[in-house]
Amino acid sequence: MSEAKTDPRILRTRKFIMDAFMELSAKKEFKDITVKDITNEAMINRATFYYHFEDIYDLLEKVLSEVLLINLDCNAYENSEINEETLISIFTAITNFQNALSNRCHRGYEETIARIIREQLEVVFYRMLVRQHEGEDKEGLQVTAVMLAWGIYGASVEWRRNVKDVTPEAYIQSAIPYLMKGLS
Q: Please, which contacts does 12-21 make with residues 24 or more away whose CB atoms are closer than 8 Å? A: 13/42, 13/44, 13/48, 13/52, 14/52, 16/42, 16/43, 16/44, 17/42, 17/44, 17/48, 17/49, 17/52, 17/53, 17/59, 18/59, 18/62, 18/63, 18/66, 21/59, 21/60, 21/63
Task: Tell me the whole-structure pTM to 2 decimals.
Answer: 0.74
pLDDT in tens, 130-166: 988 888 889 999 999 999 999 999 999 899 888 778 8
pLDDT in tens, 4-60: 557 888 889 998 999 899 888 878 877 888 999 999 999 999 999 999 999 998 998
